């Protein structure tokens, strides 16, 4: 990401003295980059549609190291993680960015360590170019580090992040996932919480040759929270990274994914959907780099926007000179339910190879009057007819989630958040 060259350290005021007195060289370098660039504003091209005023209005303290266990249990129950099939899955629970061992169950086929103990930063992120990543590097205190050995199937693993605060805070988990050759894993990330906070996670993913990672993120943060998540993924020969993000919560959210197809026949899917209302702002930004020949990337993102909600889609596919026979596809579709709702879409192709198949597009529209008339003519009330069409639009997007457990979880949470008229939540 581009940075503004003059000193803009004044934008870091909400974090007070939390950036002072750091001696670790990685953290010091990140803080130096932050002081040079500041937090991005709308003069930075990649942030022109998304304002971070939310972060500058209130000081953001470090969260307390203790948490309310009863409240955590209630949050897990509200997410449907305490009973049924999801309750049986291995899980790593973080509260305000710190590992909550009493609520976690370690997976059997996955090696797990924690950033709080290792203090290991990966090599994929770019704190010198990405200010939110630099902020994470400066303030990260914990995070999950998952490693699946060669040929192993890690199954389904839940990575649950809960915000819990009565005063404005920020927390910055530092996660990583490494799959060795031929390994498999389905990672279901759940982001939720209560109160006013900034959740600023960074996730680094390395997928080795012929390995397969399915990664589904359900973002249902508190309505007074901000979630600014950045993922870096690198995929080796014949490896697959299949990502899906469902955005439902937060006053301000941004899911930013940098995926690099580093060797021939690698595959990346970066799909997602958002359903927002009120004054919510939801941003999906991606940079998919084809750095090797014969690779495939797919991206489909759908938005349903009501009230004064605003959705943002920025998707860039970069094709290097060596990346011949690239197959890339990108589509953003938006359904606007209100005259005041807004979508800002910027699909982009940057191609330097001459033997490629790449396409992109964007569509924006309202509910189809003919379809509404059809349902109403058969006795379906207007409000219910509208909800049926909205859910049908979203169901097509959720159909891109290959893992049945993750798809069921997302479908249930969508139905609870936005029930069809006449149905119970």
Cβ atoms 148, 178 nearer than 8 A: yes
User: CA angle 58-64-70, nearest 5°?
Assistant: 110
Do 258 and 130 lie in a common domain?
A: yes
Please report the beta strands in 11-120, taking only residues with DSSP state E, as ranges in sequence order: 91-95, 98-99, 111-114
Considering the domain boundaries, does residue 309 fall inside one? no
Distance, in Å, from the CA atom of 425 to the CA atom of 414, rounded to the nearest integer, reads: 10
User: End of a domain among 263, 279, 307?
Assistant: 263
Considering the domain boundaries, does residue 353 fall inside one? no
Considering the domain boundaries, does residue 314 fall inside one? no
Considering the domain boundaries, does residue 408 fall inside one? yes
Q: For 171-325, where are the alpha helices, taking DSSP H only?
A: none
Considering the domain boundaries, does residue 268 fall inside one? no
> In tens digits, what is the pLDDT along the chain, a chain of 425 residues?
444 445 566 788 899 899 998 889 999 999 999 999 999 999 999 999 999 988 877 899 999 989 999 999 999 999 999 888 889 999 999 999 999 999 999 999 999 999 999 999 999 998 999 999 999 999 999 999 999 999 999 999 999 999 999 999 999 999 999 999 999 999 999 999 999 999 999 999 999 999 999 999 999 999 999 999 999 999 999 999 999 999 999 999 999 999 999 999 999 999 999 999 999 999 999 999 999 999 999 999 999 999 999 999 999 999 999 999 999 999 999 999 999 999 999 999 999 999 999 999 999 999 989 999 889 999 999 988 998 999 999 999 999 999 999 999 999 999 888 775 544 43
User: End of a domain among 263, 287, 317?
Assistant: 263
Considering the domain boundaries, does residue 47 fall inside one? yes
Residue (of 18, 19, 11) closest to 51 by Cα position: 11
Do 114 and 244 lie in a common domain?
A: yes
Structural domain that includes position 415: 371-425
Considering the domain boundaries, does residue 81 fall inside one? yes
Do 81 and 226 lie in a common domain?
A: yes
Provide the domain count of the chain: 2
Distance, in Å, from the CA atom of 302 to the CA atom of 334, rounded to the nearest integer, reads: 6
User: End of a domain among 237, 263, 289?
Assistant: 263
Instruction: Write down the pLDDT at residue 8.
Output: 65
CA 161 to chain centre: 12
Considering the domain boundaries, does residue 321 fall inside one? no
């Amino acid at each position: 990401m581009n940075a503004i060259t003059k000193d803009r350290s004044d934008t870091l005021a909400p974090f007070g003295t939390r950036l002072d007195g750091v001696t670790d060289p990685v953290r010091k370098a990140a803080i130096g980059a932050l002081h040079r660039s500041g937090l991005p504003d709308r003069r930075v091209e990649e942030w022109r549609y998304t304002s971070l005023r939310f972060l500058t209005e209130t000081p953001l303290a470090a969260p307390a190291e203790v948490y309310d266990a009863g409240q955590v249990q209630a949050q897990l129950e509200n997410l449907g993680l305490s009973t049924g099939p999801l309750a049986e899955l291995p899980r790593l629970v973080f509260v305000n960015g710190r590992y909550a061992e009493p609520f976690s169950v370690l997976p059997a086929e996955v090696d797990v360590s924690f950033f709080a103990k290792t203090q290991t930063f990966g090599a994929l992120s770019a704190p010198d170019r990405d200010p939110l990543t630099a902020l994470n590097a400066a303030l990260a205190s914990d995070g999950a580090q998952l490693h699946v050995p060669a040929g192993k199937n890690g199954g389904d693993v839940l990575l649950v992040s809960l915000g819990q605060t009565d005063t404005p805070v920020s927390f910055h988990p530092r996660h990583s996932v490494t799959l060795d050759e031929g390994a498999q894993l389905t990672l279901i990330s759940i982001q939720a919480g209560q109160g006013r906070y900034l959740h600023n996670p960074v996730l680094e993913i390395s997928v080795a040759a012929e390995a397969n990672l399915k990664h589904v993120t359900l973002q249902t943060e508190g309505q007074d929270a901000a979630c600014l998540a950045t993922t870096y993924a690198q995929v080796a020969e014949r490896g697959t990274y299949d990502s899906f993000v469902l955005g439902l919560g937060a006053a301000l959210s941004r899911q930013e994914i940098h995926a690099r197809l580093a060797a021939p026949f690698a595959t990346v899917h970066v799909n997602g959907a958002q359903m927002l209302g009120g004054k919510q702002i939801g941003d999906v930004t991606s940079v998919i780099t084809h750095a090797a020949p014969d690779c495939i990337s797919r991206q489909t993102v759908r938005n349903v926007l009501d009230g004064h909600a605003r959705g943002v889609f920025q998707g860039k596919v970069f094709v290097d000179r060596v990346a011949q026979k690239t197959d890339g596809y990108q589509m953003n579709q938006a359904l606007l339910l209100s005259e005041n709702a807004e979508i800002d879409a910027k699909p982009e192709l940057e191609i330097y190879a001459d033997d490629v198949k790449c396409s992109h597009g964007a569509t924006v529209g309202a509910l189809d009057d003919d379809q509404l008339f059809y349902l109403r003519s058969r006795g379906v009330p207007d409000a219910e007819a509208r909800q049926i069409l909205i859910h049908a639009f979203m169901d097509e997007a959720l159909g891109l989630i290959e893992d049945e457990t993750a798809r069921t979880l997302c479908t249930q949470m969508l139905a609870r958040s936005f029930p069809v008229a006449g149905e119970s939540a």
